[in-house]
Structure 1
Amino acid sequence: MPTDLLTTDARDLLRSVRRVTLRTAGWAVLGQLSLAAGVVAADAIRKRRDEGDDPSAPADPPLHVDVEDDRITTYTYGRALYDDMIAAIDAAQDYVYLASYIWKGDSVGQEFKDAVIRAAERGVTVCVVFDGFANLVVPRSFIRFPGSVHVMQFPVLRPGLPLLDLRRTGRDHRKILVVDGLVGFVGGYNIGELYATKWRDTHVRVEGPGVWELQNAFVDFWNRHRRPAQPELVDSGTERWGSPLHAARNEPSRLVYPVRALYLEAIDRAMHRIWITQGYFIPDPEVLEGLLRAAKRGVDVRVIMPEHSNHVLADIVARYYWSELLEGGVHLHLYKDVMVHAKTATVDGRWATVGTANIDRLSLRGNYEINLEIISRDQAERMETVFRRDLERCEEMTLDRWRGRPWYYRVLERSLRPLEAML
């Protein structure tokens, strides 16, 4: 048989295989998307059915502690946090830097909008940042501010193809407020009525030299992404080294993701207990391995997460890992009735972190995030108090109970696991 005929046959076979492969992959993706859409629709029906049952988050008081030269206040109730944030803005004399991933156009959102406008009108430099994608449903009229307020809407789409330029990926998922370099806030709370009383989240206020950690994060982000007409903020260094407070900042534009390393190192050091609270807990292989190794060496590893989060697909994907975690000795606690959205952890009563990053791919390897690391027995003790308080509102998932789940749970977990790359 002629060589050129063999070549033609081989090419035809290759084309045929390629067509079949692409068609099969296309149907698989379509099937996953259809299944995901069905799950989301079913969850929406469940939420509408449960609308009459609208419990509130526990109105626990803030906890205070001194960490060397800094005063740290830990908030677990949104309304208390918002009151103190607005009071800080109203007391501003020099500048207000505010970043929020979500800024709802409701009554709470209006309170914050009015506060920053009041500050700007009395001559305070006000710079605010919010994520364009996260606020697509917010009325355009609400996100219009007077010219005295410098506004950066982090764009939904940026120039350049994200697949070719990793520096242009990621959403701005941070929640930061800094006032006059004297007080700073950071944590999981977005701005909105729902979060004020209906969600369980965690934020901290810092008063003292540690505020620089948060201010520096805001200034660096602003100066890197500002438009030419927007002011360049003063970029100051700090004389303070070896602080017990350190801000780990994930920054796609610089291809650095230290929050993940922060968690991995703390897990690796643990000897007694690792207590984690997460709204969305989808550990990557290294985090999963670290937790299992810690449990194997006798560390008390516990994770609090919502029984039902506001993202049902994230819940299902997360549950793919429950069998391995439970079999490995990790305790899983499901927070009842309200959404827990906190991003916190404490290790051995010595180390704690509070911030904006979830333990999932988007937060640890994708978005702009900031977590405050605090090495302090006193602050760790406060975080353990919060954790124990939360445990009272949780139900533990046991291995026997999980093994007895309906067969269709297993189908959903395996079928939707590939969506992990987008969560």
Structure 2
Amino acid sequence: MPARVNHALQDGLSGLRRAAVRSGLALAGVQAATLATLTLMSELRKRREGPHEGFPWEEQPEVEVESGGSSLKLFPYGVRLYEEMLSEIASAQDHIFLETFIWKGDELGRRFVEALARKAREGVDVYVIFDGFANLVVPAKFKRFPKEIKTLHFRPFDHPVSLVDPRNVFRDHRKILCVDGRVGFVGGYNIGGLYARSWRDTHLRVRGEEVCELENAFIDFWNTHKTGALPPIKPGRERSWRPEILLRRNDPYLRIFPIRAMYLEAIDRANHHIYLTHAYFVPDRAFKAGLIEAASRGVDVQILLPEHSNHVTADWLARRHFYELLAAGVRIFRYKDLMIHTKTATIDGVWSTVGTANIDRFSMLGNYEINLEIYSRRFAAQMERMFELDKTNAEELTLEAWEQRPLPAKAVERTLASLSPLV
């Protein structure tokens, strides 16, 4: 090839690369400006409307799983949940394991610290874990728990090196409380006064052999990530092999992500109905295809989402999936007036899951998450009742209404579409 032609090709390729870089930077700038505007509008809306309290919920009795002797109780209301958790902490005789994503330094947060410190001073072994990054805005003074409480701040960004450590992308999004190996709690509730009355969430209390599985998940995490002089925890009693309640945990350190596979398998097996309730819904291609395929074979697929969540970016990224889902016959309901933060599903009156994982890339393929997979018709009946009650505070989104949304909204969705793999 003549040198002149070769130089011309190289110059052309260099020009294309420069144009691509400029286009990418321009798109990133537009996306950043769009997100800033959406965030500002969301904050103004929240200030204008103020906090909402009150939503439909009902107390459901503890239910015993058909075989195995374990029992489960749903908590859809934070006030009741927190009082039950504090009561169990107060009755602890041997050990307490508490892990949470967010731990607010408000009155409720202080009540938990004081309750834990009191038991630790009585000789109970108290171990707590909370995510360092999620609690950056919490006052440092609050996070200095009494020395009697063995505390693991999971990978806070407390050093410049932390900012460039790729492992710090993954957050500990789990919420677990276990007391004495006899009772465990897991679900979507963080610790904070905001969540007690103004958020609709779901937690689950577990009694039976499966508590050992929750404890084992905590112990594994603690022993893997403990720092400094923190002591290891010796594993407790024998593990459970009962198939009615299975613990699924995503662990990016071990590169295992069974929660996504659990959902895909359950959706694929659905014969009659699929009811999903999620705070953030940004499905990947396979997940969305599974729902569409289920709807195409006659399965009643219903998804309940917040009309406005606390993360406006997730809301707008979810919107780009609505048309395809609605066109396939999937029904979408949007919860009104306040945040619904629950992460639950129930299928065919048999299968259910309650846990911490959202339907987005962070939860499915990134963060430390934990869900219980439950095979029980009794429990599924309660989950269905809870879903129908939640729908009384939701408005169904129809395909016709979605097609008539304003042109600027469609433009924003297209602008942000490329961000989906990041959320």
TM-score (norm 1): 0.95
Structure 2 residue 52 is matched with structure 1 residue 36: no
Q: Does 1:209 align with 2:172?
A: no
Q: 1:270 to 1:159 in 2, by over 3 A?
A: farther
CA drift of 1:23 comes to: 1.5
Q: CA deviation at 1:311?
A: 1.0
CA deviation map 1:264-299 (0-9, x unaligned): 011011000100100111111111011111111111
SS of alignment partner, residue 288 of structure 1 = helix
What secondary structure is seen at the aligned counterpart in 1 of 2:62?
Answer: strand
- Please identify, of 246-255 and 222-231, the stretch whose mean Cα deviation from structure 2 is larger: 222-231
Distance in structure 1 (CA, Å) of the matches to 2:261 and 2:286: 10
Q: Deviation of residue 210 (structure 1)? A: 1.0
Contact 1:168 1:252 in 2 (8 A): no
- Structure 1: state its 5+ residue gaps: none
Partners of 1:57 and 1:77 within 8 A in 2: no
What amino acid is aligned across from residue 130 of structure 1 in structure 2?
F
Amino acid paired to 2:33:
S
Partner of 1:15: 14
Question: Which residue, out of 61, 64, 67, partners 2:62?
Answer: 64
Aligned residues: 420
Alignment of 1:351-370 (within 5 A): 351-370=351-370
Q: Is the 8 A contact 1:169 1:252 kept in 2?
A: no
Matches within 5 A, 1:330-345: 330-345=330-345
Read off the aligned partner of 2:27 and give its amino acid letter.
A
Match in the other structure for 2:272: 272
Distance 1:159 1:263 in 2: 38
Indicate if the aligned counterparts of 2:70 and 2:210 stay in contact, CA closer than 8 A. Answer: yes
Matches within 5 A, 1:4-153: 4-51=3-50, 54-58=52-56, 60-67=58-65, 68-153=68-153
RMSD: 1.9
Residue 14 of structure 1, CA deviation: 2.9
- Aligned equivalents of 1:236 and 1:121: distance in 2? 22
CA distance in 1 between counterparts of 2:399 and 2:58 reads 31
Amino acid of the residue matched to residue 47 of structure 1?
A: K
**What displacement does 1:391 show?**
1.2
Instruction: Give the C-alpha shift of residue 19 in structure 1.
Output: 1.9
Instruction: Tell me: CA distance 1:189–1:239, structure 2 relative to 1, closer, same or farther (3 Å).
Output: closer
Give me the whole-angstrom Cα distance separating, in 2, the residues matched to 1:388 and 1:21: 49
Q: Which residue of 2 aligns with 1:380?
A: 380
Q: Secondary structure at the match of 2:253?
A: helix
**Partner amino acid, structure 1, of 2:11:** D
| Counterpart check, 1:186 vs 2:182 | no
What is the CA-CA distance between 1:161 and the residue it aligns to? 8.9
Q: CA deviation at 1:3?
A: 4.0
Does structure 1 retain, via aligned residues, the 8 Å contact 2:101–2:173?
A: yes
The amino acid that maps onto 1:244 is E
CA deviation digits over 1:183-212, x for unaligned, max 9? 000000001111001111000000111101
Q: Distance in 2 between the 1:252 and 1:94 partners?
A: 31
Shift of 1:314: 0.8
SS where residue 142 of structure 1 aligns? helix
Question: In the TM superposition, what is the alpha-carbon distance from 1:169 to its structure 2 partner?
Answer: 3.7
Deviates more, 1:285-294 or 1:155-164: 155-164
Counterpart secondary structure, 1:246: strand
Secondary structure of the structure 2 residue equivalent to 1:156: coil
| 1:42-76 CA distance string (max 9 Å, x none) | 1111111112x623234532431001311111000
**1:316 aligned counterpart, secondary structure:** helix
1:182-261 map, 5 Å: 182-236=182-236, 238-261=238-261
Report the secondary structure of 2:247's partner residue.
strand
- The letter of the residue matching 2:289 is E
Q: Distance in 2 between matches of 1:141 and 1:160?
A: 23
Local SS of the residue matching 2:140: coil
In 2, distance between residues paired with 1:172 and 1:289? 28
Structure 2: unaligned runs, 5 residues or longer: none
Mapped pair 1:286 → 2:290: no
- Superposed displacement of residue 380, structure 1: 0.7
- Retained in 1: the 8 A contact 2:70–2:207? yes
What residue identity is the alignment partner of 2:59? P
Instruction: Please list the CA deviations of residues 321-356 of structure 1 after superposition, one character each: whole Å capped at 9, or x if unmatched.
Output: 100010001010111111110000000000100000
Task: Give the structure-2-normalised TM-score.
Answer: 0.95
Q: In 2, distance between residues paired with 1:202 and 1:288?
A: 24
Change (3 A) 1:257 1:197: same
